Structure 1
């Protein structure tokens, strides 16, 4: 299995000289300044510490080699797109949403049972993050309501409500957090993200956000079975591209996201259903079936792990690429990620949407779902 360290270096080397940067040595790295208001092309490592430049007149274009790699391999990786300050803010707002606090007044389409314990203190600095990473800070979940660690009946109270009880740990899923929280909405409708998605997918009409999903794995949470995203989106055309954003450093023990390189080119054959996403075993059962239909054994597959990417990094993947993740084997650390599912701006609902729990609320009682207008509030076109 290949780690992202090699992959990111490959991306940096491959894309040199594809973007003009005033004759300086360049690589295609971009930043989404969530808490500021600028975008930029980073010329070198020192640029991170320089004052932000003004907003460019045009958004950054993906180099041709990057588009070719996306079409060939099915995904691209972008390191540290969000600052740690932004990541801390997103994780802090996630804690609020899990406690029923919505600054956009509406609730997400799906939300776990409300957490009743006080939320953990927000990390506010890079130094604090590094201190924790170096082991100078106890990672045992704490009660944010006091300076001393307090124990509840279920154990320590930590991020995403983890109590310290490792029995029957469940993955927390939120669908469409952007409807409830303005910070997530601001991130998910960022024009630079949508611009890159549209370029990689070759959508001249632009990109529309169809749905977001927060996947939060407490310590001990089960794996996510390998699957494709596209079968769950009832649109015509049936094109989907997902932006996956890491909200934690992807240590191997957390069960990072994994991609099967080139599997977006496979046919639709497989045996079984991914209706049960979280399984203690057989995480590869659907993948193995799909590979077999292509005449491939598991040993023939190239699987890339997102192990090693930092919080705030992201990947963009094709809706038909096979991907999944292993169990969170950490005893103390959560594994949080945000998935943004984009579709072409001109999509229409199909009749299958009327049978889907995800899409039925938007087309219920309508004779022809293709006539339903997708609203900017629920399905924003991210304009540039």
Structure 2
């Protein structure tokens, strides 16, 4: 097992050396020792790293060498052709944000309108790795970062590559007034050109208000890190979006635990939940939910409509690309849950958008012609 891991890291290191400084830049910059001392009073920070509310098991004992090779180089899990999607430009968005609307951009990237506030969540458009030939995006984003509309803030859940992208942050640094991130993540943003005054770093249960919409960082059971030496140096979070008329919740990444009931009681119920529903495996069950748990989390949160996210753009697990949505869809139907399944780039409005199984081959052909 150790030899397998060493071999993978050697390959990645060699690739990193071959592309030089750009790969190092993408890794960002973990908080300095001086910055870390500011977190010592936090109960979720111990011995120089952030911790979960409950211990998590992240062993790789079931990973054989062949399984690890399969993870990186087996492409049978991805679609044979490009999936149908709605092409978006800046002009696709109204000047005034909607009361409650979300445009899913694939994986966990979203543009959320809530009570007149527009938020860009976890925007990633390229490959989810500092090394170009690994974890490439198999489905293009429905919008280019250059075409993004004006937003009131960018919200980042944690610093993994499929949620935080250097090129996008650099592009937005002089265009967005506010970046909302968990503790420590601001260090990456400052390295990539963001002014410290643009960045608001939140611990769990801390919040900021934008035009009467309160954005609250809430716990999630996960981890962080962009290199081999910065594991858990920055915090990870889920988010509550609470306006005067509507409320929404985004899980970020995380395993299932009792916190969903607690968040539902403290901050719910929610008109919309955006719940991690893909890239799961029994080996990392504690930090990524299985579909059954994603549906259960929605129920415990007191959600009215559920939008499954964290799938459809990257090959990050051993399951096929459409397994998450098929499993979640079947479970939701069995339990009478109102599920939202927009194509990437499709504007989704709870109460007005219908559930469509667009991932079915026949439906894909039909929608590709329509789009």
Task: Give TM-score, length-normalised by structure 1.
Answer: 0.25
The structure with more radius of gyration: 1
